[in-house]
Amino acid sequence: MILAHLTTLAHPHVASLGMFFQADAAAPEVGFSAVQLWTNMGYFAKGIVIILFIFSIWSLAVIIDRALYFSAARKQSREFAPKVAGALKEGRLDEAIKVADRSKKSHLAEVVTAGLTEFRSFGSGGAITEEQVESSKRALERSEAIVHAKLKKGLGGLATIGSTAPFVGLLGTVMGILNAFQKIAQTKSSGLGAVAGGISEALVTTAFGLLVAIPAVMCFNYFTNKVEAFDVEMDNSSSELVDYFIKQSHR
């Protein structure tokens, strides 16, 4: 009698479990390859993935462009600095300007060229006046601002991608979860197969958003540090050049 009573009590739960696994087994299989995930995605999630793909291409283009630009600037500046210093030491102003003109990608050469050109525009004859030195100093400052803007080209977009890509992926995640619950309501099934597609869709957009954002943030911080180092070098070069002009005016 006791065994019969226990069997009767357990029967509804066994039936419920059987219905759960039967519903889960009847649910369509969801693949997890890239093609199958893309096929199972809704239109909104596909739009999110396309946006993140555009972000990744954009950030990659900026990273490659800045890496090549900074590498060339560093290389040419190392070759330029000793040559122009030697020319100025010997008083060959025209030769120093020619050396600077040959280093088109050097951040130092662009700044120094502006100062030397302004200094030479007053003419080589006669005494060097205070106005000549001040005018050259202002030319150096203007050139520094222009070069700084060139060095930071594209970094604003890289920062935007790094900060917004996770949220764009999160938006896809929210929509994927909503789709999963919608499928549960439509199929009236509590099996895992009913929500597997929506959950996988949500996880893919989140992962893709992080995959785009992490390299963008890391490269933005790296390039920002490079720009700050270049700014220090340009400030030092400008200061040294102004000192050179002042010494020339006292001779």
Could you state, in order of their start, the residue ranges of all structural domains in the chain? Answer: 2-249
**Cα–Cα nearest to 94, from 73, 117, 114, 72:** 117
Does the pLDDT at position 246 exceed 80? yes
Binned at pLDDT 50, 70 and 90, residue 167 comes out as very high
Write 50-53 long-range contacts (CB < 8 A, 24+). Answer: 51/168, 52/165, 52/168, 52/169, 52/205, 52/208, 52/209, 52/212
Q: Which residue has the tokens 């992490």?
A: 214
| CA–CA dist 228, 156 (Å, integer) | 15
Report whether 192 contacts 207 (CB < 8 A): no
pTM of the model: 0.76
**Tokens linked to 34:** 């890239």
Could you give the 3-state DSSP secondary structure of residue 127? coil
**Tokens linked to 136:** 């050259």
Section 109-118 average pLDDT: 88
**Tokens linked to 221:** 């911080």
DSSP label at residue 41: S
pLDDT in tens, 14-25: 344 344 334 444
Percentage of residues in the chain having pLDDT higher than 70? 75
Residue 167, amino acid? F
Summary mean pLDDT of the chain: 79
- Distance of CA 134 to CAs 18, 66, 239, Å? 90, 33, 12
Does the pLDDT at position 34 exceed 70? no
